[in-house]
Structure 1
Amino acid sequence: MAIPKAHLEFHPIAMDDDGWQLPEGYPPGTGVDEKILSGRLDSAAKRGSRTRLLRFRPGVFTTQPFVHDYWEEVFLVSGDLTVGNDENGEGGERFVAPTYACRPPGVFHGPFKSEGGCLLLETHYYDPA
């Protein structure tokens, strides 16, 4: 059974630091934050969906690839994002907004870097049973 999302009409989203948190899988102090807009994932039951904003502060980079067991759709709303840099933040392929990715479960992706900072709109979901 799916976890339903709430009905939300247009409403303002504060883009200041209020309501942002460290995303799961990111080490503290990396300069990457998320703001959940709707829904939730239940990773134990492998169900649900969520929509979030993910932001990288300028100069931020991660050092390890990510993999997860849910679908992920990512829209680069603003800024730049480099995919596939090394552990020193060097190399990879640079993208600028607007850019889109759709990843099925089990696909390794990253590490990531943003020279000028970026804002991503992401939707995560499990396949319905």
Structure 2
Amino acid sequence: MAINKEHKEFHSIDTKEREGWAPPPGYPAGIQQKVLAGVLDEVNKTGNRTRLLRFDPGVYTTSPFVHDYWEEVYLVEGDLTVGNDENGEGGEAFEPNTYACRPPGAYHGPFKSNGGCTLLEIHYYDETE
């Protein structure tokens, strides 16, 4: 697998301000992403992306997600519930310092956060050199 990302040394990431955060396509209001490195091209099924994803308090998704790339997720701060219903009820709650690794095609979610959360996510396609 070839990983092509730009060289970046340690630098500050502002997680509190709204600058640099944008809603990901297809997500409900109250969920924003900040891409840290890389580009994931879902049309041509190439590339990789490292991003922060945050949920505002009380936000939830209503249906499972499935995509054709690998996904690694680390819960940095806050609370995240996995497997709630379309009304945001139920599911299994997780606390910071928990991790998931999902292969392409794995159904996951829906998700909610009662108090808000920040996730570190790494997405990538299987690529041959």
* Shared fold per TM-score greater than 0.5: yes
The AA in structure 2 aligned to 1:68 is H
Write out per-residue CA displacement over residues 8-41 of structure 1, whole angstroms, 9 at most, x where no aligned residue: 00111122100000112213xx200000000011
Write out per-residue CA displacement over residues 31-87 of structure 1, whole angstroms, 9 at most, x where no aligned residue: 000000000111122110010000001111110111000000000000100000001
After the TM superposition, which of the residue ranges 102-111 and 2-11 deviates more from structure 2?
A: 2-11
The AA in structure 1 aligned to 2:95 is V
Query: Could you tell me which residue of structure 2 aligns to residue 80 of structure 1?
Result: 79
The AA in structure 1 aligned to 2:69 is Y
Q: How far has the Cα of 1:2 moved from its partner?
A: 5.0
Name stretches of at least 5 consecutive residues in structure 2 with no aligned partner: none
Q: How far has the Cα of 1:127 moved from its partner?
A: 0.6
Q: How far has the Cα of 1:3 moved from its partner?
A: 6.6
Query: Could you tell me which residue of structure 1 aligns to residue 19 of structure 2?
Result: 18
Q: Is the 8 A contact 1:2 1:47 kept in 2?
A: no
Q: How many residues align?
A: 127
Write out per-residue CA displacement over residues 71-122 of structure 1, whole angstroms, 9 at most, x where no aligned residue: 0000000010000000110000000111000000001111100001000000
The AA in structure 2 aligned to 1:14 is D
The AA in structure 2 aligned to 1:8 is K
The 1-side partners of 2:2 and 2:25 are apart by: 22
Query: Could you tell me which residue of structure 1 aligns to residue 4 of structure 2?
Result: 4
Aligned-residue CA RMSD (Å):
1.3
Structure 1 length-normalised TM: 0.94
Query: Could you tell me which residue of structure 2 aligns to residue 60 of structure 1?
Result: 59
Structure 2 length-normalised TM: 0.94
